[in-house]
C-alpha cells in the first residue's frame, strides 16, 4: 500500500516535503530518547524486590552474543519477561494509538480539542466491550470486535445527530459527540448494574488499567492497531491539505469526504482495539498532539509520527507513576491521565478562545 493508494486523487500532493513540514532527525531522536527512558523506568521499577541493575543485566543477557549473569531467580526473571515487559509494551501500544487517533480526529475536524472521548468513540467502544465483558469471563478475542462495533455505532450516531441539528460544522459534530458520549456512558452504567456480580471487575476496567500477566493483550490488539496506523500514516499529507477549507482541498485534487471516512474509520478501529484491552484512558489524544504542535509545528507529517512515539512514552511514564505513587497499592492509570489532562484541557480551551 502506498500513500497514493489511500482513496484520493493521486494529483493531490505532488510537491516534496519542505523543511517546515519534514520530520527532523533531532525531533525524532529526542522522541525516541523519551520513549527509551520511559520504557527503561517501566521495566526496572516495580513492587517486586528486584534490583534495577539486576533487571537491566537480565535484559542484556538475552541479547545476541552477550553473556551477562543477572543473578535473578527463575521467578524474578519471569516477572521481568512476563509481567513488566508486556506491561511496558501494552502501555506503548495503547498510548501511541490514542495519541495518533486524537491527532487524526483533530486533523479531520480541524479542531485541537477533539479526541476519541469528546466524539463519543471511546464511550461507544467502552459500551461494546462492557457488553462482551459482562457476557463472558474475560471477553477474549471478542473484546475488540465488540468495542469496534460500539465505536462504529457511536460515530454514525454522532454524524446523524450533528446533521439533524442543522449543520456539518466541527462545533456541531463535537457537541453531538459529547451528547452521544453521555448516552453511551449511561448505557454502560446500566449494563454494569445488570452484571452486579462482575461490577468490581468492570469498574477496574473502566478506570483504565495496564495490568497484564503475559503478552496476550498485546497480541490481541496489535493487528487492529497495525491496520489503523498504516492508514493514518499514509494519510498524514492529506490531513495537512484538510487544514484549508473543503473547496480549496477539492481544487488541489483531494476529496475531503473520502479522506474523512477513511481516517475516521482507521482512528476508530485503533481506538476500539486499545480500549478493549486497557479500558478507558482519557486525555492522551489531547495532551500529546497539542504539545507536539507547540514544540514541533502543526504539520501532520511531524505530528503523526511524533504522536506515536511520545504518546507511547507518555502512557508508559504515567503507568510508572500509577504503580509507584501509592505503592504497594496501584492507582488506575485513567486517574493519573485525567489528573494531568483536565487542567491541560482547560489551558488548551483558553488558548483556543484567544485565537478565535
Q: What is the 3-state secondary structure (H, E, C) of 176-228?
A: HHHHHHHHHHHHHHHHHHHCHHHHHHHHHHHCCCCCCCCCHHHHHHHHHHHHH
- The separation between the first and the last C-alpha atoms of the chain, rounded to the nearest angstrom, is 39
32, part of any domain:
no
8 A C-beta contact, residue 109 and residue 174: yes
Parent domain of 234:
3-8+39-355
CATH number of the domain residue 149 falls in: 1.10.3470.10
What pLDDT score was predicted for residue 8? 43
245, part of any domain:
yes
Q: How confident is the model at residue 313 (pLDDT cuts 50, 70, 90)?
A: very high
250, part of any domain:
yes
What pLDDT score was predicted for residue 6? 46
22, part of any domain:
no
Q: Stretch 116-128: mean pLDDT, rounded?
A: 82
The dihedral sign for the CA sequence 14, 15, 21, 27: positive
26, part of any domain:
no
List, for residues 148-190, the tens digit of each pLDDT value. Answer: 888 888 888 887 887 776 655 667 777 888 888 889 888 888 8
Q: How confident is the model at residue 146 (pLDDT cuts 50, 70, 90)?
A: confident
Distances from the Cα of 351 to the Cα of 160, 170, 347, 355, angstroms: 30, 18, 6, 6
List, for residues 201-216, the tens digit of each pLDDT value. Answer: 666 666 777 876 688 8
List, for residues 245-303, the tens digit of each pLDDT value. Answer: 888 888 888 888 889 889 988 998 898 888 888 888 888 998 999 899 988 888 999 99
Is the model more confident about 278 or about 32?
32
What pLDDT score was predicted for residue 3? 42
Is the model more confident about 105 or about 15?
105
Torsion of CA 275, 278, 284, 285, to 10 degrees: -20
Q: Stretch 108-125: mean pLDDT, rounded?
A: 81
Q: How confident is the model at residue 117 (pLDDT cuts 50, 70, 90)?
A: confident
Torsion of CA 194, 198, 201, 205, to 10 degrees: -30
130, part of any domain:
yes
Mean confidence (pLDDT) of the chain? 81
Q: How confident is the model at residue 353 (pLDDT cuts 50, 70, 90)?
A: low
What pLDDT score was predicted for residue 92? 96
- Lowest-confidence pick of 128-137, 192-201, 204-213: 192-201
Instruction: Domain count for the chain, please give it.
Output: 1
With pLDDT > 70 as the criterion, what percentage of the chain qualifies?
Answer: 84
List, for residues 6-17, the tens digit of each pLDDT value. Answer: 444 333 333 334
Amino acid at each position: 500500500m502506498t500513500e497514493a493508494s489511500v482513496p484520493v486523487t493521486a494529483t493531490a500532493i505532488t510537491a516534496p516535503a519542505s523543511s517546515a513540514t519534514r520530520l527532523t532527525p533531532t525531533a525524532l531522536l529526542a522522541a525516541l530518547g523519551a520513549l527509551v527512558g520511559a520504557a527503561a523506568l517501566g521495566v526496572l521499577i516495580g513492587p517486586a524486590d528486584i534490583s534495577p541493575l539486576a533487571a537491566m543485566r537480565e535484559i542484556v543477557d538475552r541479547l545476541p552474543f552477550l553473556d551477562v549473569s543477572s543473578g535473578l531467580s527463575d521467578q524474578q526473571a519471569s516477572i521481568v519477561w512476563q509481567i513488566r515487559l508486556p506491561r511496558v509494551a501494552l502501555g506503548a501500544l495503547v498510548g501511541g494509538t490514542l495519541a495518533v487517533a486524537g491527532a487524526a480526529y483533530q486533523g479531520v475536524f480541524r479542531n485541537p480539542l477533539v479526541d476519541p472521548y469528546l466524539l463519543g468513540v471511546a464511550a461507544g467502544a467502552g459500551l461494546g466491550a462492557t457488553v462482551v465483558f459482562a457476557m463472558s469471563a474475560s471477553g477474549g478475542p471478542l473484546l475488540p470486535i465488540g468495542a469496534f462495533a460500539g465505536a462504529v455505532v457511536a460515530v454514525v450516531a454522532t454524524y446523524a445527530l450533528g446533521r439533524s441539528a442543522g449543520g456539518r460544522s466541527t462545533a456541531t459534530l463535537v457537541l453531538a459527540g459529547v451528547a452521544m458520549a453521555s448516552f453511551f456512558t449511561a448505557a454502560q452504567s446500566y449494563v454494569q448494574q445488570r452484571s452486579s456480580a462482575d461490577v468490581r471487575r468492570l469498574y477496574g476496567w473502566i478506570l483504565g488499567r495496564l495490568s497484564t500477566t503475559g503478552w496476550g493483550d498485546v497480541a490481541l490488539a496489535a493487528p487492529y492497531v497495525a491496520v489503523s496506523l498504516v492508514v493514518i500514516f499514509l494519510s498524514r499529507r492529506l490531513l495537512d491539505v484538510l487544514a484549508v477549507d473543503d473547496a480549496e482541498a477539492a481544487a488541489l485534487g483531494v476529496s475531503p469526504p473520502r479522506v474523512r471516512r477513511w481516517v475516521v474509520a482507521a482512528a476508530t478501529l485503533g481506538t476500539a482495539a486499545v480500549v478493549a484491552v486497557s479500558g478507558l484512558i482519557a486525555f492522551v489524544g489531547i495532551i500529546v498532539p497539542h504539545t507536539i504542535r507547540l514544540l514541533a509545528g502543526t504539520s501532520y507529517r511531524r505530528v503523526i509520527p511524533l504522536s506515536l512515539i511520545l504518546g507511547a512514552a507518555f502512557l508508559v511514564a504515567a503507568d510508572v507513576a500509577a504503580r509507584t505513587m501509592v505503592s504497594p497499592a496501584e492507582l488506575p492509570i485513567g486517574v493519573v491521565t485525567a489528573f494531568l489532562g483536565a487542567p491541560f484541557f482547560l489551558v488548551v480551551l483558553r488558548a483556543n478562545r484567544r485565537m478565535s
